[in-house]
Every structure is written in C-alpha cells, then in structure tokens.
Amino acid sequence: MELNHDHFFNRELSWLEFNDRVLGEARDATLPLLERLKFLAITSSNLDEFFKVRVGGLDMLASRGVTKLDPSGLSPADQLNLISQRTQQMVREQMTCFLSEVEPGLNETGLRRRTREDLSEKQLRFVKELFRGEIQAVLTPMKVELDQEFPALIQESLSLCVRLKSTETTAEGETLPKLAIIPFNNYSLRFVTLPSEGGYEYILLEEIVAMFVDEFFIGEQVEECVPFRITRNADFSLREDQALDLMSQMEDLIEARKEGACIRLEIAADVSADLVTILQEKLELDDAGVYRVTGPLDMSAFWELVGLSGFENLQINDWPAQQSSEIGPSDNLFELMSQKDLLLYHPYESFEPVVRFIEQAADDDDVLAIKQTLYRTSRNSPIVAALIKAAEKGKYVTAVVELKARFDEARNIEWARNLEQAGVQVIYGVQGLKTHAKICVVVRREPQGIRRYMHFGTGNYNEVTARLYSDASLFTSDDDLGADATSFMYAITGYSQPHLYNKLEAAPTTIRTKLLDLIEGETERKIQGQKAEIIAKVNTLVDPEIIEALYRASQAGVKIRLNIRGACALRPGVKDLSENIKVVSIIDRFLEHARILYFHQGGDDLVYISSADWMPRNLDRRLELMVPVEDIKNRDRLLDILKIYFKDNVKAHQLQPDGKYRRLKRGKKARFRSQEVLYQQAREAANRASQTSRTVFMPHQAPGSDSNRM
C-alpha cells in the first residue's frame, strides 16, 4: 500500500505530545501540589521507557544506516533529531514547573528540600554523621581509565562523576583528565529525612555525597563533582527460531540490556564543557543525546513523596473502588454467571471479583480445569497464588506466561518456575508472537454436564494496576464464547491451527480483517443514505491500513469519534479527508487503558472490548482478542461510557490537524469531568445495591415449613 505521507503524524512525536499532556497536569495550578508532583514523576518515568525502547530502536536503525521512511515520511535519523529537539524542550519545561511552581508551593506548606547552603547546624551534624556512619561505607568509587571501557553502570541509576586535579600530561603538554565515578546503584536512600522543627524536610543523597566527596579521595583535590545518569538501549529482540530454551534465552536478553549502547546522558546543568566532552567520548554519544538538567535528576523517584503522611491536604481525595452493584461481596461467581453476563469497569468498580473468580475456581470441587493467560502480574499476585493452589488440589491448570512482556521478563520467569514447581502446565507463548490476550477459562462439572465460565479483559491480571488503570472486565458462560475460548487456548498451547471462531476475533488472524470489514460496512451504509457511526476507544492508533479505512469512511460522511490516549498517527479535521473525524484524549488521575469499540451496524449496535490497540504489532504480531458484548444492558452501558468521554470539558484535549492538542474549553457549559462522572455513577450504583440488600427481610423458617404457603 503506497502511503501519502501528508496523511500521517509521526508516531514518536505524537507520543511526545501525549507525554506533554501528562506534563500539563503537573502545570495545572488547580490540582493539589503533591498530585502535580505525581504527574512530574510520571512524565519522567514515561520518558525513561520511551528512550529505552523507542529511541533505542531508532538509534539502532540509524547506526546501521537504515533510511527507510515511516508513514509520515521521516527516516530514523530524522526522527532522532526531532525527538531530541522536542524532548529537550520538554525537560526544560518539566524543570521550570518543578523549580518555579511545585517546589516553592511545597516549601510554603512545610515540605522542603534542603541543599548544603541552607542546612541548620543540627541538620549539618546529622548529615555528617549519616555520611560517615553509613553512606561512606556503602558507596564505592570507581576509577575511570581513559584508555579502557567506561565502567558498567546500572541502567538509569544515579552516579556522581568526580574530576580530580591531575598532574599527568600528554607528549604535547596537555593535562590528562583524572576521573572517578561513584555509582549509587540500588542504594535506596535517595531522600534523606532531616531533623526539623516542623513539617517535613529532606535532602537528596547526591547532595550529601557531594558535600563530603573529598573524604573518598584522601590526598587528592576534587575539582568538579556532578550527578548524572545514563539510559541504555533496551530494544533487543529474541531470535525465537534459534531459542532451544526460551527461558534461558530470555535471561540472556535481560543481561544484554545491561550492556546496551548509551542513548541518553542526563547530567547537572552546571557541569563543565570539558567534562561533558569526556563523558560523550567514553559513552560514544553525540550532542543530541546530552540532557543538561537544571534541577534534580530522575524526577520519577519523587513518587516516593506523593503519598507522604501528614500532607493529605496536598493530595487528591481518594476514590476507592466500589463494589459492583451486580456482584455482592459473598456471591458465588459461578451461580451469577450461569444466570447472566456480568460487566465491570475498573477502577471505579473493584477488581476483587476477578481475583475471587479464580480463587473460587481453585477451591470449587466441581472445577476440573483452569486455563489462563498471564502477561503482567503484581509482585505478590493472589491470582498466581490461586493457580498454584488449584494445581496443588489436583485441578488441571494451564498458564500461558508471556516471558517476552517487556521489562516484566524477570518477574514472569520467576512466576513460571513457581507455577511449574506446583504442577501447573506452563506454556511460554507462541513462537514469534507475544500473547497479549487477557482470558481465563474455568471448566466446571455440573448436573447438566460440562460448562465453561470465562473472564475476558482489556487489562492485565494485576490487582495493583487495576486500581490505577481504567479497564473493562466481562464475565460470561456463553456456550459459543466458551467453545471459542477453548479453541483459542488450544491454538496457543498446542499445535492446533488458528481458525474462524463463532464470536471471538483474534489477532493475528482475524481482528484486522474484522475491523476493516466493520469500518467498510459503515462506509457503505452511509453511501446508501443510511445512518452510520463509529466510536472507538484505544490507547494507540498508528496502523496505516486502519487509518486509511477511517479516512474513506469520513469522506463518505460517516461520523467517527475516537478516544485515543497516546500516540495517534491519524490527522483529523482535514477538509475532504478527515473532516468527520474527531479525536480526543483524556488525561486524568486514572490511566485510560480500556479498548472499547462501537459500530452502528444499521441500528444493531455492535460493541466489542479488546486487548488490542490499533497498531501493526498488535494486529499482526501478537495474540489478541476482540470480544463482542451482546447482553443489551452491558452493551448499552459500554456505549454510555464511550459517550461520556466525549462530553468531558475538564480533562479532555482535542487533536488538531497540525498535530497539536488543544484542551477543550468549557465556555458556558456545565463542568463535566468524565472520570469523576464514572466514579459517581459507580458510587451511586453501589449505594443503591447496598440499600436494596438492607431492605430485604429474610425470615427464619421453621424446620419443614413451606415458604410458599400463605
């Protein structure tokens, strides 16, 4: 397919605009100060992963001389140049926000960061004792030999670079630099609490070490001491066709990341030009990869302060997950699911029923088997514990553990080994594809015969992130979906060939085709004069074929509304191309993560939930699911949720034809914040259910009495 480059935004630059919207929350003076600090930490954490993966991959392509253009017409080298320009600006704005707005505000409330210049005598004594009593004993300086490789530093960990006075010279009489590195590695003491008369005062570890750095180098003269951190390329792929032992190969890949090429150097802005030059040469880094930071490095670490006790007035009010109005706290999920399909929308509704579903399956004597995919789980996963318990009780348990889940490989390897030791049949996914589908199938023996109960989700089986991410959960015992789910698991775990399902759509075989057919169906109906509409909520939209299909639908007059959280390569609002397409993005306290799709379908209202974003990797190189929601109540609820997002005039940004996002202005309209509305709806539903349960009288019956007798 030949692409018109003017029809597409660059994916990486679009993602940076998403991160700028996250930074926009930190700039929002209406938010509590620690909430603003949280968004500064998220912005920094997002950039770390972006550099490790996206920039790392582009750097590798550029270094190999690859000049292939992306859909927007940019080569890898072009993209790296534009990314550097945009990110340098973003880092400056991030530091301005912290140093000029957030930190001064925190200081006024009694939450203060101290530097060596403003320590009291008591604090200075405390810091000196801490350094000599602990810090100096823990940290170890490393000599930097200029004619040898640079020391192997841990990815993204802070270090101090120390320049010592040198007497060595070259044959030409030039002084040879004398350097040492003090790596902090995994030392957790970044924020040191100081004694104070009130409030909370702290000093950063790098500030303390710099104060007493000369005590590491007795007899030497320290001329310069600056904090820095490096980011290495972590975009390594595995040749699975050559991996006889996938787990061993994954462990090797994790080790390889520790030695990836340096792609970013973050360093204190007051560093000397000479020292930067030396580090660039040792790290083989060009100017575009150097980020001079005017404030503290690694703002992601400041998440530690966000929930600080005693400063609740600087934090947002908690929105605790509500009990589902459909699922009581002691309900048996199998009994409920045998009667109807159940829908949950997290984190407004608790993730607890998902955990309970698997725990009840482990304890239920009538359950014969559990089959589940695991992509990202929590550190102390109750779901994994339930699967282990089920296997130990003699149930047939199959777990598809995706070892290739980026940056969760080590944890998944550990879980895989624990599951195997308990007798679980562990599958490491399918060769060449990541298993990203979210599915659990429970096979149960009942008086009428074998029945299958399923959970399908848009998010991971992770009860921790389920409190922060918005995702949908569907519980069902539908026979056709049960047959489809079993066939899908067979295709992953055995040699069964993928085939057409009754109701499910799966990548990489059918989701792309189904999406194109659904979009084309709306296009044809509009051409025939019928009503046509598409509403979709996904995290990323960068697939050229899907985008071109949406353009054709727009040109035919189809009304298209897209809620895209992150990168969007589609250019909306362009005359004669996409003027019927509206793209909004919601950035608020919860991370928008659910994928929900709606097609008018001539009035039949087709609604799906999916694990897949609209990206080539999801549609072509991953195992994904797209699940129809057929129950009218659940279908209508998801459609209402989709529409709620497009009413937001508080946290919504609309994508413009030039690629910039504009925060929607409320004007004279009433304030409407989508996440707040969804939370209030969940609270009201939970309260109604609670009131109903309290007003039902349950009389004690005499033994043998007929409860139906009047």
Q: How far apart are CA 52 and CA 190, in angstroms?
A: 22
Cβ pair 523, 558 in contact under 8 A:
yes
Catalytic entry in 7, 346, 436, 653: 436
CA 206 remoteness from chain centre: 29
Q: Token pair 């008018």 is at which residue?
A: 600
The radius of gyration computed from the CA coordinates of the chain, to the nearest angstrom, equals 28
Q: Which stretches does DSSP call E strand in 487-565?
A: 505-507, 533-538, 559-564
Q: How far apart are CA 478 and CA 631, in angstroms?
A: 10
Sign of the CA dihedral running 444, 450, 455, 460: positive
φ, ψ dihedrals at 43, nearest 5°: -55, -45
Q: Is 436 a catalytic residue?
A: yes
Nearest to 436 by CA among 490, 500, 492: 492
CA atoms within 13 A on the CB side of 643: 9
The alpha helices in 284-339, defined as continuous H runs, are 303-306, 333-339
3-class SS of residue 192: strand
Provide the b/e sequence for 330-345 (b: ≥16 CB within 10 Å).
eeebbebbeeebbbbb
DSSP string, 28-95: -TTS-HHHHHHHHHHHHHHHHHHIIIIIHHHHHHHHTT-----TTS--HHHHHHHHHHHHHHHHHHHH
Q: Which long-range contacts (CB under 8 A, 24 or more apart) does 664-669 make?
A: 664/584
Alpha carbon separation from 360 to 357, 390, 405, 418, 702 (Å, rounded):
5, 10, 27, 21, 31
Nearest to 252 by CA among 93, 142, 19, 413: 413
Q: Which long-range contacts (CB under 8 A, 24 or more apart) does 627-633 make?
A: 627/456, 627/474, 627/481, 627/503, 627/504, 627/505, 628/503, 628/504, 629/341, 629/343, 629/474, 630/341, 630/478, 630/503, 631/340, 631/341, 631/343
CA 454 remoteness from chain centre: 25
Cβ pair 479, 495 in contact under 8 A:
no
Q: Which stretches does DSSP call E strand in 329-386?
A: 342-346, 367-374
Give helix then strand counts, H and E, for the chain: 21, 27
The token pair that represents 597 in the structure block: 């799709």
3-class SS of residue 215: helix
Q: How far apart are CA 349 and CA 320, in angstroms?
A: 9
Alpha carbon separation from 501 to 55, 482, 625 (Å, rounded):
38, 10, 11
Largest CA distance in the chain: 112
Cβ partners under 8 Å of residue 138, min gap 6: 187
Helix axes 33-50, 11-27, angle to 10 degrees: 160
Bridge-based pairing of strands 505-507 and 622-628 is: antiparallel
Cβ pair 526, 557 in contact under 8 A:
yes
φ, ψ dihedrals at 326, nearest 5°: -95, -20
Alpha carbon separation from 91 to 40, 261, 343, 373, 519 (Å, rounded):
10, 22, 41, 38, 40
> Cα angle vertex 52, ends 49, 58, to 5°?
120
Catalytically active residues, by annotation: 436
